[in-house]
Amino acid sequence: MVTMQKSIDTVEYEKLRKWLRAQREDKQLTMRDLAALLNRPHTFVSKVEQGERRLDVVEYVTYCRSLDVSPFDGMRASFKKSDLT
């Protein structure tokens, strides 16, 4: 039987958060810059990157679009088959 834990507490979500931060930094955007693109307070980006706030699927796609990256690339980076048990 597979048990489902809260997504925010998983290794995969941690990888996704790190990937999102790396994408932001690669674009040379500050948290405030990204927050402005998202029309959200800068604390929103900070909480996402620190794992204090989980993105739902629609928010995640919007976040990726604001960074001009593919949400599929983030999923691939977080769920590499070799990393899953």
Domains of the chain: residue spans and CATH: 8-83 (1.10.260.40)
Q: How far apart are CA 82 and CA 24, in angstroms?
A: 26
Residue of 2, 23, 29 lying closest to 75 (CA atoms): 23
pTM of the model: 0.87
Structural tokens at position 48: 């996402």
Per-residue pLDDT of the chain (85 residues; tens, 9 = 90+): 777 778 888 999 999 999 999 999 999 999 999 999 999 999 999 999 999 999 999 999 999 999 999 999 999 999 986 554 4
